[in-house]
Amino acid sequence: MQLIVSKNFNKTDSHKIDTYIAGGGYEAVKKCLTSMTPASVIEEVKNSGLRGRGGAGFPAGMKWSFVPKESSKPKYLAVNADEGEPGTFKDRLILERDPHLLLEGIMIACYAVGINAAYIYIRGEYKKAFDAVNAAIKECYGRGFLGGNIFATNYKLDIYPHSGAGAYICGEETGLIESLEGRRGQPRLKPPFPAVAGLFMGPTVVNNVETLAFVPDIISKGAAWFAAIGTPKNSGTRLFGVSGDVEKPGVYELELGISAKKLIYEICGGVKDGAKLKGFIPGGLSAPIMTAAEIDTPLDFDSLAKAGSMAGSGGVIVINETRSIPKIAARTADFYAHESCGQCSQCREGTRWVSQLFNKILNGGGRKKDIDLILDICSNMTGQTICVLSDACAMPSTAFINKYRNEFEALVANN
């Protein structure tokens, strides 16, 4: 199996600049700056088919091309290292173990879009990751890879690490921008989209850590090489963070399109203690649960969307047959109720109401009509709000009921 973003993880001193350079590091950005135009860099990333690994799977090259070439205001890159989605812990490894791979990806993205300042918004709890990134940035300034006249060209770039404010909503791209500006992380109404008016109202690209970490290899090995990995329209590998009732939890870099069956049973050694599989959540907590019968589904953006779930952040949560789905549903809704920023009533009221009803059912005080009431509330929480946190609660809540309704009915009075 070809490793791209995790290829350096197990090297001694993998976080140091000398280790990175010894493995061919910083050659790709040098190639861009000295022999490629910004437009040809964007074209290469577009042709590679690279899709965002932060959640929505949006094509990275296309996102970059939306930023206006000429701008009266400075342009920015905001790197999303907030990693707040429950079940997701893959960017952390890149930040801690190979921060230079991320920095090189940032440099290439910034050159391509005409950006001279990038901010890395790092989850507040990730102290070790913050320190590793901070030290790597300092090493780059020391070698002249950041600042002015990079690789003897007239290109200049500064990169700033920023510690996150400790809320899930700060991972939403416009919540992140607000937080970077020093305010509460409350998402902004779109349009305008960040590509037009983002950080400090300048045109801004927001990309996930892992997305950017693919870019150096795409430049050095070519778009066609990357596009040949994975499946058509879902090219490359991704980091799957596997947790829950599984023998070998961890972070695994695998081709997009691998089946859940292969991931859980062959790569991760199967369900823990030989138990039977009840279901799995394929892309972080917001992704609707899949049943054991759906185990052959390929884990890529399009196949999972077709199956009514989503690839999201690549966090795969394995659930064995003894787990109570109503309990998982209540805990899930509790999380979103706690994390709603409160701007939109559908989300502020809806997440709390759904959480209350799930807990009422779980604690034996529920009625059959409460189950349908949850579905009704969820349908009114979808597609109605400034950001999709509301949907992120409604989608899994609906799936828990639709796929395991008997477990909820067993807990309620028949009225």
Ligand X SMILES: Cc1cc2nc3c(=O)[nH]c(=O)nc-3n(C[C@H](O)[C@H](O)[C@H](O)COP(=O)(O)O)c2cc1C
Instruction: Give the shortest CB-259-to-ligand X separation in angstroms.
Output: 23
Nearer to ligand X, 339 or 407 (CB): 339
Which residue stretches of 265-314 are H helix?
301-306
CB of 152 to ligand X, least distance (A): 30
In angstroms, give the least distance from the CB of 149 to ligand X. Answer: 29
Residues in 148-207 that interact with ligand X by CB under 6 A: 168-169, 171-173, 206-207
- For ligand X, what does the binding mask look like between residues 79 and 118, x meaning CB under 6 A? -x-xxxx---------------------------------
Under a CB-based contact definition with an 8 Å cutoff, are residues 339 and 308 in contact? Answer: no
Minimum gap (Å) between residue 78 Cβ and ligand X: 8
- The string of DSSP letters for 39-54 reads HHHHHHHHHHT-B-SS
Burial zone of 259 (CB within 10 Å; 0-12 exposed, 13-18 middle, 19+ buried): middle
Q: Which is nearer to ligand X, 213 or 399 (CB)?
A: 213
* Residue 74 C-beta-side C-alpha neighbours within 13 Å: 13
Helix, strand, or coil (residue 104): helix
**What DSSP character marks residue 237?**
E
Out of 211, 303, 343, 398, name the contact with ligand X by CB under 6 A. Answer: 211
Q: Using only the alpha carbons of the chain, give its radius of gyration.
A: 22
Task: Report the alpha-carbon distance of residue 364 to residue 30 in Å, rounded.
Answer: 64
Site for ligand X in 40-59 (CB under 6 A): 52-56, 58
User: Are 362 and 381 a contacting pair, CB within 8 Å?
Assistant: no
Shortest reach from residue 52's CB to ligand X, in Å: 2
Q: How far apart are CA 4 and CA 217, in angstroms?
A: 7
- The nearest distance, CB 170 to ligand X, in angstroms, is 8
Q: Among residues 172 and 294, whose Cβ is nearest to ligand X?
A: 172
- Smallest gap from residue 370 Cβ to ligand X (A): 26
> Which is nearest to 75 in space by CA: 157, 151, 153, 181?
157
Tokens 């300048």 appear where? 202
Sites for ligand X among residues 372-391 (CB under 6 A): 387-389
Q: How far is the CB of 12 from ligand X (least distance, A)?
A: 29
Is the CB of 102 or the CB of 117 nearer to ligand X? 102
Pick 82 or 217: Cβ nearer ligand X: 82
Site for ligand X (CB under 6 A): how many residues? 24
For residue 187, the minimal CB distance to ligand X (Å) is 8
Q: Which residues are registered as beta bridge partners of 318?
A: 244, 280
Stretch that binds ligand X, among 18-26, 35-43, 78-86, 139-147 (CB under 6 A): 78-86
Q: Which is nearer to ligand X, 15 or 51 (CB)?
A: 51
- C-alpha neighbours within 13 Å on the C-beta side of residue 353: 19
Using CB under 6 A as the binding rule, whether residue 310 contacts ligand X is answered as no
Of the pair 52, 366, the CB lying nearest ligand X is at 52
- Cα–Cα–Cα angle for 212, 385, 347, rounded to 5 degrees: 105
Measure CA 149 to chain center.
Answer: 33
State whether the Cα torsion 192-197-203-206 is positive or negative: negative
Q: Which residues bind ligand X (CB under 6 A)?
A: 52-56, 58, 80, 82-85, 168-169, 171-173, 206-208, 211, 387-389, 392
